Amino acid sequence: MSNQLSGLIKNDSADSYHRKRLRYIMVGCFILGNGVTFNFEIGKYVDFTELKKAIWEDDKDYFASIGVNNDKKIKLWKVEIPTRNNDKYERLLENHRVDLDVKEEFSGERLNETWHIDLTFKEPPPKEHIHIIVQPPSLPATTGKRQLDLDYCDEESGTRKKGKSTYPEESDEGRDNLMVISPDRLKSIVDFVQKHQIVLLRSPPSSGKSTVGQTLRDFFKSLSDGVYINLAGMCGKDEIYNSNKFDNYWKKMIGRSWTEISEYYFVK
């Protein structure tokens, strides 16, 4: 009886030591889409179901902004990417789109939600590495192009005009054709935009920011007095993730790079 009790005590002690040792081990994580790198404690979680939920909770605002409203939609990948002076890591920083093939690009191993953490990370992982890549689901692409009837106001006459607008198939963007902007209100917005070099439009989600922006786009395009750049339509393209290509894209569209615009208007 004494030997059995001694054996139980030893086993319990070993398990307690293992959990205590694991609790203070950090893994490096990287989120596809926003390109955020961070360290995260893993020992207090039993399996990857718990870890996914914890990571989602830790950056809930970002995930909610891309429509990921619960942790079950994200995937975790085990990788081993040094973060100091490493080409692979630099490549990941430049190209971290959500539809990245982690298995192909970084020999990633998909972490099943039922797997236990202590069996996956038996030993302390190497420091200054990315060990887990967090992959949100890809945004659904629309097929074909949508034609929407748009009403807009002619600045000179104040009369309403009808028009057509085509939205790119890469984007879910589109004007809410149930929303109406009065000619007087649209004219006041147009006047404000024309008097200021930069205008920031802020309002709660689903309150009509896209509709206002796209109505303004159609108005200024009707005057041949504007260039419309749709960042949502760039989603999934290299330009949105590569700073040099992003700069070149703006240069091609309006004759100035985004860096030039930022330095001219924002740097004091």
Residue range 164-190, pLDDT digits in tens: 444 443 344 455 555 667 777 888 888
SS3 207: coil
CB 43 within 8 A of CB 24: yes
- Please tell me the predicted confidence (pLDDT) of residue 77: 97
CATH class of 2-135: alpha beta
Give me the residues of the chain with pLDDT under 50, please. Answer: 1-22, 140-173, 268
Look up residue 21 and give its two tokens: 């040792």
Query: What kind and span of H or E run contains 154?
Result: none
Q: Is the dihedral of CA 53, 55, 60, 62 positive or negative?
A: negative
Mean pLDDT over each residue of the chain, to the nearest integer: 74
- Please tell me the predicted confidence (pLDDT) of residue 165: 42
pTM equals 0.49
- Please tell me the predicted confidence (pLDDT) of residue 199: 76
Domain boundaries, the chain: 2-135, 146-225, 237-268
- Please tell me the predicted confidence (pLDDT) of residue 216: 80
Look up residue 128 and give its two tokens: 């200054």
CB 235 within 8 A of CB 171: yes
Look up residue 219 and give its two tokens: 């108005």
